[in-house]
C-alpha cells in the first residue's frame, strides 16, 4: 500500500520513520517501520461486523532515532489487550496473529510506549473471516459439557501444525489461493496442503488397537487422538492438521492479567478462595470499626452533611485517618484506593490551590455549586467543584458522584481525581476539560462555530461513553441527566460525559428502576416522566435531544419562542416528517454538510426520540449510525476537496474505509494529517442565536399532546435539573 493510502489510518503527532534496504526477514513488509514515543492509534472502518484476522508484524530494524531492541510497549484495541509490556530484544522478525469478533464499525489499534521508551510497528493486516470459522458454542473438556459464548472472546494463534506435510505460509494459505471445495465444508478452514497429508495410526497387528496418536505441542500441552469405542468400522484415527488458539481471559486480555480498564483477572480457584477469605475478614474488621465509631459518634452528628467524616474510617474531623507524623506533613497525599473512593484532599490543600476559593478562579457555576480552576501537585490543572450549602443537590448526589466515577474508567468519561468532605464541605476534584461544555460551542457564547465533522465526532465520543455506562458493568448504569452541558471537551475536542450525581445502577434481572423523576427539562424521557420507571432508553431519549441541539444549534427548551417552537424535539420532528429538516439547521452548516450524512443523523435522532422506550435503539446501535454518518461526511468532503481545493472544511486523519479484501499496511508512511482547528469566524453567538430564533416553524402546527414535552414544561416548569 502506498504512503498516501496508509496515512489516513493513523492518528499521531509524530513522523518517525525507519527503513532498511534489505534484511534477513521473511517479507518485505519488515523493511519499513514507524516509531512512536507517545500513544498512537490506527483506526479502520469495517465493512461488516463479524470475525476478523488481525496480524501484526514486528522487526527491530536499525535506525538513527531509537534502539528498537530496547523498545517496550503495550498494544490494545478498544476491548482487548493484545500485547502487554512487549519487547522484541533480538534481531528477529515476529508475527502476531489474532482472531477477533468485531461488532463496532470503527476498529482501532492503540500503541502505547512505556515511560522513556518507544513503540514501533512494521505492518498491520486485517482480513475478514467467515462466520462459520468458529461457532458460538463449543465443547468443554473438564468437565465435558457445552461451552457457549465463544464469540465473546478474543483469540491468539499459538500453534498451527500441518501433520506430515510442509509448512503453511501466507503464500499457500487458503485466504490467498483459489480452491474448489464441496458445499459442506468451507475452504477457509485449511488449504488442500493440510488435507493432502496426515498422521495415521500404524498397523501394529494387534487385536485391540486402543493406543493413540500423541503430539507433544509444548510442555504441559499434549494432544492425543485415538479410535472410538464403537464396534462398527475400522479401528483407526487420522489427524491432518492442528491449530491451537489462546483465549482471552476474564478481563479481555490476551497478554497479562490486566484489562484495558485496569481490571485484574483472578488466576485460579485458590486465588478466588484467598481473595474471598480476605474480603470476609476485611468486612468483619470494617464492621467492628464502624460499630466503635457509632458508639463514639459526636452528639451533633445528625446536623452534619458529611457521609464519611464520622462513620467511614478514612479521616475524622479536621485530620486524616492516618496520623500527621506518618504522612510527614499535614498536606495529605493519601489515596484511599483501598476504599475505592479516589484520592482524599484536605480542605487546606484546596484552599491553598484556589486562594481560599477566590472568585477569580471560578470558571463555571452549576446546580451543585461553583467550579474553580486551579493547579495541584506542581502544575497539574484540575477543576474543583465546591458544593453550595444552599443548593438542592446535597449529600446523596455528592456520594453518588464519588461512588460512580471511582469505579468507572473510560476515554469518554470525565475522570474523578478525588474529593474532600472535611468540615461539612462537599468538594469534587476532576480532570480539567479546557474547551468546556459542548453547548458553549453551539450557542450562547462568543465561540467559533464547530464544523459538521467536529460535531459528529463529539456526538460519537459521547455515545461511546454512554454505551460503556450501559454495558460496562453487570447491571449497567443509567446517567439520567444527559445534556450538552454535561458533555465536556478537552483541548483536542474529545468529548467526555460528566456529572454523575443523578446516576442510577440498573437492577439485576429487571429492565427498569422505579424512582422519583429527576433530570433536566427538555431532555426528560416522557415515558419515564409518566411511569416513573427509569431505563437505559431514558438516556437514549435525552441523547436524541442532544443530537438535535448539535444539528440546529439552539436550546432544548426556549420559552421565548412561539409555543410550537418551544420544545426542540417536537419542533424538529415536525420538520423531519415534512422532509424539510434542512430548513432549521444551523446556518453555519449550510453548504458544508453532506445531505446523506444529515439524513442518517436525523434518522438516528428520530429513533432515539420514539414515544416508547422499547422502540428506541440501544446506544450501541446509535453509535453505529453516527459513525456511518461520519463516514458519509468524510467521503463528501474528499469529493468536494477534489473539485474545489479552497473548501474551508477538510477531512482530518480520521479512519478511512478499509478495503474489502485483505489489507496489509506498511506503516512507514508519510505523516498522518492532523485534525484542523475549528474554522474561525467573526460572527458572535448572539447573531447565531438571533438566526436560530428567526427560523420559525410551519404556520399550521398539530395540536400538542397532553403527554408532550411542551405540555410537561407548562405543568412542571420549575423542575430542578443539574
Catalytic residues: 481
**C-alpha span between 322 and 328 (Å, rounded):** 11
Burial 559-595 (b: 16+ CB within 10 A, else e): eebeebbbbbbbbbbbbbeeeebeebbbbbbeebbbe
For the chain, give me the number of helices (H) and strands (E)? Answer: 14, 36
Q: Are 542 and 502 in contact (CB under 8 A)?
A: no
16 with 34: CB under 8 angstroms?
Answer: yes
User: In the block, which residue shows the cell 473539485?
Assistant: 643
Is 246 labelled as part of a ligand binding site?
no
Backbone angles phi, psi at 687, to 5 degrees: -70, -35
Cell numbers for 660: 474489502
C-alpha cell at 595: 445531505
Give the C-alpha distances (Å, rounded to integers) separating 502 from 46, 308, 567.
36, 20, 23
CB–CB of 386/372 below 8 Å? yes
Q: Which residues are CB-contacts of 339 (< 8 A; sequence separation ≥ 6)?
A: 312, 314
Q: Measure CA 207 to chain center.
A: 62
Query: Which of 447, 496, 439, 483 lies closest to 677 in space, CA to CA?
Result: 447
8 A C-beta contact, residue 709 and residue 478: no
C-alpha cell at 292: 466503635
349 contacts: CB under 8 Å, gap ≥ 6: 331, 332, 376, 420
Show the CA angle centred on residue 262, arms to residues 257 and 265, nearest 5°: 30
Helix (H) or strand (E) holding 689: helix 685-694
Which residue numbers belong to the known binding site?
A: 385
Binding-site residue set for ATP: 385
Amino acid at each position: 500500500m502506498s504512503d498516501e493510502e496508509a496515512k489516513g489510518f493513523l492518528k499521531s503527532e509524530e513522523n518517525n520513520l525507519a527503513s532498511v534496504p534489505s534484511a534477513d526477514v521473511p517479507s518485505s513488509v519488515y523493511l519499513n517501520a514507524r516509531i512512536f514515543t507517545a500513544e498512537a492509534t490506527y483506526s479502520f472502518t469495517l465493512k461488516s461486523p463479524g470475525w476478523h484476522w488481525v496480524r501484526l508484524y514486528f522487526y527491530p530494524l536499525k535506525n538513527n532515532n531509537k534502539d528498537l531492541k530496547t523498545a517496550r510497549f503495550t498494544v490494545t484495541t478498544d476491548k482487548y489487550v493484545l500485547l502487554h509490556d512487549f519487547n522484541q530484544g533480538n534481531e528477529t522478525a515476529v508475527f502476531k496473529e489474532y482472531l477477533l469478533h468485531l461488532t463496532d464499525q470503527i476498529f482501532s489499534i492503540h500503541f502505547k510506549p512505556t515511560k522513556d521508551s518507544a513503540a514501533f510497528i512494521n505492518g498491520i493486516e486485517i482480513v475478514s473471516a467467515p462466520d462459520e470459522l468458529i461457532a458460538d458454542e463449543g465443547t468443554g473438556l473438564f468437565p465435558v459439557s457445552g461451552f457457549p459464548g465463544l464469540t465473546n472472546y478474543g483469540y491468539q494463534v499459538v500453534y498451527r501444525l500441518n501433520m506430515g506435510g510442509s509448512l503453511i505460509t501466507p503464500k499457500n494459505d487458503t485466504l490467498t489461493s483459489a480452491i474448489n471445495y464441496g458445499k459442506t465444508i468451507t475452504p477457509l478452514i485449511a488449504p488442500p496442503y493440510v488435507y493432502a497429508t496426515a498422521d495415521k495410526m500404524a498397523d501394529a497387528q494387534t487385536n485391540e488397537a486402543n493406543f493413540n496418536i500423541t503430539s507433544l505441542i509444548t510442555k504441559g500441552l499434549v494432544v492425543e487422538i485415538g479410535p472410538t469405542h464403537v464396534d462398527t468400522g475400522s479401528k483407526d484415527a487420522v489427524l491432518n492438521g492442528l491449530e491451537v488458539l489462546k483465549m482471552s481471559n476474564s478481563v479481555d486480555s490476551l497478554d497479562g492479567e490486566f484489562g484495558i480498564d485496569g481490571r485484574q483477572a483472578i488466576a485460579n480457584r485458590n486465588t478466588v478462595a484467598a481473595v474471598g477469605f480476605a474480603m470476609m475478614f476485611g468486612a468483619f474488621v470494617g464492621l467492628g470499626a464502624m460499630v466503635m465509631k457509632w458508639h463514639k459518634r459526636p452528639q451533633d452528628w445528625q446536623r452534619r452533611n458529611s457521609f464519611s467524616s464520622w462513620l467511614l474510617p478514612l479521616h475524622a474531623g479536621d485530620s486524616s485517618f492516618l496520623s500527621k507524623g506518618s504522612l510527614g506533613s499535614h498536606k495529605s497525599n493519601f489515596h484511599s484506593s483501598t476504599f475505592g473512593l479516589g484520592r482524599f484532599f484536605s480542605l487546606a490543600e484546596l484552599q491553598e490551590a484556589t486562594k481560599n476559593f477566590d472568585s477569580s478562579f471560578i470558571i463555571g457555576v452549576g446546580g451543585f455549586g461553583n467550579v474553580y480552576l486551579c493547579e495541584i501537585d506542581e502544575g497539574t490543572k484540575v477543576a474543583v467543584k465546591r458544593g453550595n450549602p444552599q443548593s438542592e443537590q446535597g449529600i446523596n448526589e455528592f456520594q453518588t458522584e464519588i461512588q460512580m466515577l471511582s469505579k468507572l474508567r473510560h476515554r469518554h468519561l470525565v475522570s474523578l481525581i478525588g474529593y474532600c468532605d472535611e468540615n461539612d464541605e462537599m468538594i469534587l476534584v476532576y480532570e480539567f476539560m479546557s474547551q468546556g461544555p459542548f453547548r458553549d460551542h453551539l450557542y450562547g457564547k462568543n465561540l467559533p462555530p464547530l464544523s459538521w465533522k467536529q460535531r459528529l465526532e463529539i456526538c460519537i465520543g459521547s455515545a461511546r461513553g454512554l454505551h460503556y455506562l450501559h454495558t460496562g458493568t453487570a447491571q449497567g448504569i443509567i446517567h439520567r441527566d444527559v445534556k450538552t452541558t454535561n458533555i465536556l471537551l478537552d483541548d483536542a475536542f474529545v468529548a467526555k460525559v460528566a456529572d454523575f450525581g443523578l446516576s442510577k445502577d440498573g437492577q439485576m434481572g429487571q429492565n427498569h428502576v422505579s424512582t422519583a423523576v429527576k433530570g433536566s427539562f427538555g431532555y426528560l424521557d416522557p415515558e419515564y416522566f409518566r411511569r416513573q420507571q427509569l431505563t437505559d432508553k431514558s438516556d437514549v431519549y435525552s441523547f436524541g435531544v442532544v443530537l438535535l441541539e448539535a444539528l440546529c444549534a439552539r436550546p432544548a427548551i426556549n420559552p421565548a419562542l412561539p409555543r410550537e417552537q418551544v420544545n426542540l424535539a417536537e419542533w424538529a420532528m415536525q420538520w423531519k416528517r415534512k422532509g424539510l429538516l434542512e430548513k432549521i439547521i444551523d446556518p453555519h452548516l449550510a453548504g458544508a454538510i453532506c445531505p446523506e450524512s444529515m439524513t442518517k443523523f436525523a434518522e438516528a435522532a428520530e429513533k432515539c426520540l420514539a414515544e416508547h422506550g422499547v422502540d428506541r435503539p440501544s446506544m450501541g446501535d446509535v453509535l453505529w449510525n453516527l459513525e456511518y454518518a461520519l463516514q458519509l461526511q468524510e467521503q463528501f468532503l474528499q469529493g468536494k476537496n477534489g473539485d474545489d481545493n479552497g473548501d474551508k472544511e477538510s477531512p482530518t486523519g480520521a479512519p478511512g474505509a478499509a478495503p474489502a479484501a485483505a489489507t496489509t499496511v506498511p506503516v512507514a508512511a508519510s505523516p498522518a494529517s492532523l485534525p484542523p482547528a475549528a474554522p474561525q469566524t467573526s460572527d458572535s453567538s448572539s447573531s447565531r442565536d438571533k438566526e436560530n430564533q428567526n427560523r420559525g416553524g410551519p404556520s399550521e402546527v398539530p395540536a400538542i399532546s397532553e403527554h408532550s414535552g411542551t405540555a410537561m414544561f407548562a405543568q412542571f416548569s420549575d423542575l430542578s435539573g443539574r
